[in-house]
Structure 1
Amino acid sequence: MAATVENADLVVIGAGWAGLAAAKTYLEVHPDAKLIVLDAQSSVGGVWAQSRLYPTLKSNNMVGTYEYSDFPMDQKTWGVKPGEHIPGNIVHNYLTKYAEKFGVLPNVRFNSKVETAERGEKGGWLLTIGQQKGSILAKKLIVATGMTSQEFLPTFEGQESFGVPLFHSKDFSQHAATLDTAKTVTVLGGTKSAWDAVYAYATKGIEVKWVIRESGRGPCWMAPPYVTPLKRWLEKLVHTRFLTWFSPCVWGDADGYTSIRHFLHGTAVGRFIVDAFWGILGGDLVTLNKYDAHPETAKLKPWIDVFWIASSLSILNYDTNFFDVVKKDNVRIYVADITQLSKGKVHLSSGESFDTDALLLSTGWKHTSSVKFLPAGLEARLGLPHDNDSKDGEQESLVSRTDDEILSTYPRLKKQPEKRKKFTPLPNADDTTPSVDSLSGMNLYRFMVPADEELMEAHDIAFSGNLMTITTAIIAQVQGLWIMAYFDGKISPLASQSSSGSSSASQIDAMTESGQQITSVQYSATLHNRFGKWRCPGGWAGKIPDFVFDALPYVDLLLGDLGVNSRRKGGFLKEITEPYGPEDYVNIVDEWMKGQKE
């Protein structure tokens, strides 16, 4: 007897920031729709699910910038004071209450990991859920699993006989007992999660051996909450329009200030001013953190200029001064590689070795989808990372053309930072998953939908939250609205075929004349995704969208597609000097619906 297949109008995979916003928006416009939200964990929240919380975990954002526009995180309700970072349990409870208030929570099915999504012959997606929980046929599908759901686990020689806890930072909460039982702990990595783990252990008086790979990317950039000589709130700084102009951005013209951007990035005088801005910002961070004041903190000085990073810029959100903690005798930093493990011992390329009671790996994330798409080979058409062994002449030509446009428009990006000779990717413990370097980058139109004509015409699949940024809440809402409008056929990129500008149009014409079939949608998708390779080699380098100062013009771009006003301050001076926050987007769904009626 054939298994019963459940039907749904919309299935959202993932109940984090992006998934909840998308589900809420779709229900707001389609209250009678059959909606199902599937999540592999036992509670909502994604990164902030109950199972991923551990002591000392806080948001990088301070309260006021990490909330949905229509659900303020007020002090009376949530107990977080202005100027404070938000404890992890508060973020989790906030997202739970949001899902509850807007009717999403009753539609969420927990402990439901989607294993496969098969494209139907007449559209729609047949989803298979693990542990024999059945199948769902979704008319429309939103994949909102984000970029921090699949941990990257390296493998080490001798780890089978290591004999002590070895775990990824994602699973810190499952090993929180080590905060009470361990005497010595090793932390591998230079990312923010490594800093968090070092702080958590060191402030408990535990001896910490912090290993930063000599063959890696080095320590991440860390900033105090308030930066520049004027002591501006960092999250507000990156969302102040006139400051976003100092970041070269291939979709930056969406903000409407084309002449100013052209001056800053297209002229020698402008580029001098831009370099001065980034020099001041980077120099201020180095000065404030006082790296050279102590031999141990000197090892935490970043290896790449701040200009070349994106979301890897993080914030010091600790109760006490992090660098004072590192200066204490119970923290030792090693700039070396782990060559092997033996019983309860870590061995380094420097020749040093030491005993340890646990090894926490802050080794990043896989950028592939957690869902297997069928039939085989569909990932490439969807615009997802895929094995890039085969050579496609037309695709190579498209990449070459978009690279030419990026570098001619932004000459500053031609002078890339020098690559470290010792850099070597970590070996993957999962032999079935190709290394990051061997996979293609993501290539979604607007970072959300396939640029493939047939798939785009179906209007039945989208990806939300497949990017790295600190503008999480705002982008989640705007992407949710964009995807809903796209599903309803109110946004039809293929019909409009609008190019990214005159330069793009000339490139497309040249490719068409050479006999290549290329649409402006395909060109735009490739242009925007390739931009990351040149803009942030210190981050994901084009493998996935990764940006900070470019988030506001990205929101402008999506609102422009929707026909919703992106200049929301009222008056030129306010528009360019007052920072944007979630509160500025509180009515965008109503505005869009009103625009549709008119």
Structure 2
Amino acid sequence: MEYLEAYAHRFDIIRHVRFGEKVVGLEYVGPDQEEMEAWDLWGGTGDGFAGAGRGVWHVTVEKEDGAKEEHVMDFVVLCLGRFSGLPKIPSFSENKGPEAFNGKVIHSMDLAKMGSSVAAEYVKGKHIIVIGFLKSALDVAAECADINGAELPCTMIVRTKRWNLPDFSAWGISFGYYYFNRFSELLFHKPGEGIMLSLLATLLSPLRWVISKFVESYIKKITPIKKYGMVPDHSFFQAMSSSLFALLPENFYDRVKNESIILKNSKSFEFCKDGIILEGESVPIKADLVIFATGFKGDEKLRTIFKSPSLQKIVTGSLENTVPLYRECINPRIPQMAIIGYSESLSNLYTSEIRAMWLTHLLDGGFQLPSIKLMEEDVKKWDKYMKEYSHEYYRRSSIGIIHIWYNDQLCKDMGYNPKRKKGFLSELFMPYGPNDYIGLGSKKE
């Protein structure tokens, strides 16, 4: 928090922020839908601000006292994120959901809002069930276990087993050498690749399996997932390609060993008066409190901020495809608007910063977007890539395992050298990370 405050003061951001106001509606006022559909270029001109008199955004905000105001803006950047706001709760048949339970049911989001001391008091002395097995679920369960111990163990219901890690290394080698360098990206087919890269990806594809099995063997050795029946059904490679894994809290499996955390694997379950009944069992797991750490409705959150039904439909696209964003930033059919931070990488902070740089260059006239047709063709290529490697999780739009390839495209658009290392071997085999992009756009560039 101190760092964020220092950053905001250093760059004079505070005076531009309106605190205590929530955006509750966006409406584009300008050309009608028929005219917009006929455009060849984004916004009709290909320019970020779409030229004089093209259109404006009406932004409705609600203040803490309930009063509403409307602001007129030339451009809107949505930085809503996908992991907050609208919790995703599994659906249940009638009288089998939370309404059948005598205890309390909350989402991990609700617990986080309480603050550490209030949350600790809230969970103290309770039989707790946590639903989920990714970062929020792991952290919540670990904290509950530390507060209540083995006398009141925290039960985790794991619907999907995950390749959760103690750290970002395997057999003493950093993941950067497995997945975050240019050579590792040669093992995958990439959107817009040429014939030679496509051939290389096909020839080298067996290495993907070798690396995945190598990492899996390490996780099985260093964590007792086999002992507790928590070995995932999918490969570690698929977990990486869809950004579906997490770092374990320190000493997590020690808590499992001393039974302050109890792991239960079950695809489905239902509520009863005293707690939760797992599929195939008749005796309930007793609980006073059930905490859903089951994610958020990112698509719905993005969609419902628009007042227009047509824009609601356009912004998230069909559920059969990924969210249609060119460079993961621009919807080709919605003018004067960008979305930053929606698709995932394995280091969202610096990926979002590079996207923000790309957007400022666009708005400053540093480059022009291709035609709407070409942008939509590019979106389809990324959609194909995400479906091939992320499978049913393609809607997460993860660029994790080809983030260098993605950053290269942004750098080229801005006119910067995408190769950030010195020497051929370093460029090919050394890991890429945030430090490699320090000074991007400086005079030296």
The percentage of counterpart residues that share the same residue type is 22
- What SS is found at the alignment partner of 1:589? coil
- Note closer, same or farther for the CA distance 1:584–1:287 as it changes in structure 2 (3 Å cut): same
Q: Distance in 2 between matches of 1:533 and 1:184?
A: 40
* AA of the residue aligned to 2:80: T
Report deviation, 1:237: 5.1
* AA of the residue aligned to 2:183: F
* AA of the residue aligned to 1:143: L
Q: Distance in 1 between matches of 2:288 and 2:69?
A: 42
1:2-38 residue CA offsets vs partner (Å, 9 max, x unmatched): xxxxxxxxxxxxxxxxxxxxxxxxxxxxxxxxxxxxx
- Note closer, same or farther for the CA distance 1:558–1:308 as it changes in structure 2 (3 Å cut): same
5 Å-filtered alignment, 1:92-171, equals 92-121=1-30, 122-130=54-62, 131-149=66-84, 150-156=86-92, 157-160=96-99, 162-171=101-110
Partner residue, 1:442? 323
Higher relative contact order (CA 8 A, sep 6+): 2
Report deviation, 1:338: 5.5
- Residue 520 (structure 1) aligned with residue 396 (structure 2): no
Q: Distance in 2 between matches of 1:199 and 1:583?
A: 32
Report deviation, 1:238: 3.5
Report deviation, 1:100: 2.1
Q: Is the 8 A contact 1:264 1:274 kept in 2?
A: no
- Residue 548 (structure 1) aligned with residue 400 (structure 2): yes
Q: Distance in 2 between matches of 1:492 and 1:478?
A: 17
Report deviation, 1:209: 1.5
5 Å-filtered alignment, 1:11-160, equals 92-121=1-30, 122-130=54-62, 131-149=66-84, 150-156=86-92, 157-160=96-99
- Note closer, same or farther for the CA distance 1:584–1:273 as it changes in structure 2 (3 Å cut): closer
**Structure 1 stretches of at least 4 aligned residues deviating more than 6 Å after TM superposition:** none
Q: Distance in 1 between matches of 2:15 and 2:173?
A: 41
1:316-358 residue CA offsets vs partner (Å, 9 max, x unmatched): 3x33x22221122333222225643344422222223032121
- Residue 358 (structure 1) aligned with residue 286 (structure 2): no
Q: Is the 8 A contact 2:344 2:398 kept in 1?
A: yes
- Residue 468 (structure 1) aligned with residue 344 (structure 2): yes
- Residue 250 (structure 1) aligned with residue 185 (structure 2): no
Report deviation, 1:180: 5.2
* Deviates further, 578-587 or 141-150: 578-587
- Residue 559 (structure 1) aligned with residue 411 (structure 2): yes
Q: Is the 8 A contact 1:151 1:170 kept in 2?
A: yes
5 Å-filtered alignment, 1:113-512, equals 113-121=22-30, 122-130=54-62, 131-149=66-84, 150-156=86-92, 157-160=96-99, 162-173=101-112, 174=114, 176-178=119-121, 181-204=124-147, 205=149, 206-213=152-159, 218-229=160-171, 231-234=172-175, 238-250=179-191, 259=196, 261-267=197-203, 270-292=204-226, 294=227, 296=228, 298=229, 300-309=230-239, 310-316=242-248, 318-319=249-250, 321-336=251-266, 339-349=269-279, 350-368=281-299, 369-370=301-302, 371-381=304-314, 384-386=315-317, 388=318, 441-452=322-333, 455=334, 458=335, 460-494=336-370
Task: State TM-score, norm by structure 1.
Answer: 0.63
- What SS is found at the alignment partner of 1:536? helix
Q: Is the 8 A contact 1:100 1:106 kept in 2?
A: no
* AA of the residue aligned to 1:187: V
Q: Distance in 1 between matches of 2:23 and 2:295?
A: 22
- What SS is found at the alignment partner of 1:549? helix
Report deviation, 1:286: 2.4
- Note closer, same or farther for the CA distance 1:277–1:336 as it changes in structure 2 (3 Å cut): closer
- What SS is found at the alignment partner of 1:125? strand
Q: Is the 8 A contact 2:156 2:261 kept in 1?
A: yes
Structure 1: unaligned runs, 5 residues or longer = 1-91, 389-437, 498-517
- Note closer, same or farther for the CA distance 1:313–1:159 as it changes in structure 2 (3 Å cut): closer
Report deviation, 1:133: 3.4
1:547-567 residue CA offsets vs partner (Å, 9 max, x unmatched): 322112111111111111111
Q: Distance in 1 between matches of 2:79 and 2:344?
A: 13
What do you get for the CA RMSD once the two structures are aligned? 2.5
- Note closer, same or farther for the CA distance 1:334–1:129 as it changes in structure 2 (3 Å cut): same
1:231-290 residue CA offsets vs partner (Å, 9 max, x unmatched): 12336754333223334332567xxxx84x4343233xx223332222222333223223
Count of residues in Structure 1 that have an aligned counterpart in Structure 2: 403
Q: Distance in 2 between matches of 1:271 and 1:439?
A: 26
1:368-393 residue CA offsets vs partner (Å, 9 max, x unmatched): 13452232211343xx225x4xxxxx
Q: Is the 8 A contact 1:140 1:487 kept in 2?
A: no
Report deviation, 1:118: 0.4
Q: Distance in 2 between matches of 1:535 and 1:380?
A: 26
Q: Distance in 2 between matches of 1:245 and 1:574?
A: 15
- What SS is found at the alignment partner of 1:379? helix
